[in-house]
Amino acid sequence: MIEILLIVFAPFIGGIIYGFERVVRARMQNRQGPPLLQPFYDMFKLIDKQAFIVNPYHTILGIMHFITLWVVVAFIIMGQNLLYVIFLHLLSSIFLILAGFSVKSIYSHIGSNRELLAALAYEPILIMMAVGFFMVNGSFDIAVIREHGASIASLFLLFLAYLMVIPIKLKKSPFDATEAHQEIVGGVEIEFSGIFFEFLYMAKWLEYIFAYLLLMLFAGDNILLGIGLFIGVFLLVNLVDNATARIKMKHLIKIVLSLGLTLGICNLIGLAYV
């Protein structure tokens, strides 16, 4: 029953996390900032705005991006296979990328290109994470991974690699080049409007749930450690976001693929010889 409630309300839980993040960032910048429920106020404003459909494929692909992400979060909560979760998450990203390519806007195309390049950078790390959890726990099932003890000690290098993935998925500096609102006006989202943009807005909330649920897998069955990882990484990501400037897309790929893959491969080699 609890799992069903968590799945049903996952987008709204993500919205609360997003709203709390905006409050924390405002405090870090020494300003008043928006209220905790501001994302939901934005949601109602978007629903009330007139929706413009560029073409049906663009709209359907955007909605499928949101629905697939919701299924991904549901699979994590239900303790399903981690590989299925990662591949389904990639499918949700592909829906968004195809939506961007389905219109004629040059900004949308640039956004899709950057989303695709970002996926090429972080997907190998996610797959190595799954392999690492399998080597430690003997299973890809998230339920089994949760039942075992904390894996952060044996997967510490992969944990560090995953820390680079989180700001990419949450569009945080220095790895927010996929959105880069100063350059490409929000990128792949630019042609969405009204309630259809709302699906993408709520998809961002689900990305928060996805990113932090995967993070908490490193804590295994240790709930306090999981909460500690969430709070610590949440503050770290926002601190770095406030303190750094965005880097170029080529640098994002170079850093994540070189450093992240190196950390992941070293970790897996180490596990193989333990």
Give the separation between CA 205 and CA 83, rounded to whole angstroms.
22
CA 235 to chain centre: 16
Tell me, what's the pLDDT at 165? 94
The alpha carbon of residue 49 and the mean position of all alpha carbons in its chain are separated, in whole angstroms, by 27
Q: What is the pLDDT of residue 159?
A: 96
Distance (Å, whole) CA 3 – CA 156:
29
Both tokens of 13, joined, read 């839980």
Q: Is 256 in a helix, a strand, or coil? A: helix
Distance CA 240, CA 173 (A): 7
Residue pointed to by tokens 């109602």: 44
Q: Please, which residues have CB within 8 angstroms of residue 133's CB and are 6 or more apart in sequence?
A: 82, 140, 145, 151, 155, 217
Question: Which candidate, 29, 247, 214, places its Cα nearest to that of 132?
Answer: 214
Give the separation between CA 183 and CA 178, rounded to whole angstroms.
10
Containing structural domain, residue 102: 2-272
pLDDT at site 183: 62
Q: Is 223 exposed, middle or buried (0-12, 13-18, 19+ CB in 10 A)?
A: exposed
Residues constituting the chain? 274
Q: How do residues 179-231 score in pLDDT, each as one tens digit? A: 766 665 667 887 888 888 888 889 999 999 999 999 999 999 899 999 999 99
Q: Residue 173: its pLDDT value, please? A: 83
Helices (H), the chain: 2-8, 10-28, 38-48, 56-77, 82-101, 106-137, 142-147, 156-169, 181-184, 194-216, 223-243, 249-255, 261-272
pLDDT on residue 184: 55
As a dihedral over the C-alpha atoms of residue 86, residue 89, residue 95, residue 100, rounded to 10 degrees, the angle is -100
Query: What pLDDT was estimated at residue 182?
Result: 61
Tens of pLDDT along the chain (274 residues)? 788 999 999 999 999 999 999 999 888 888 888 888 998 988 888 888 777 788 889 899 999 999 999 999 999 999 999 999 999 999 999 999 999 999 888 888 888 998 999 999 999 999 999 999 999 998 999 999 999 877 899 999 999 999 999 999 998 888 887 776 666 566 788 788 888 888 888 999 999 999 999 999 999 989 999 999 999 999 999 999 888 888 888 888 899 989 999 999 999 999 988 6
What domain count does the chain have?
1
pLDDT at 250: 87
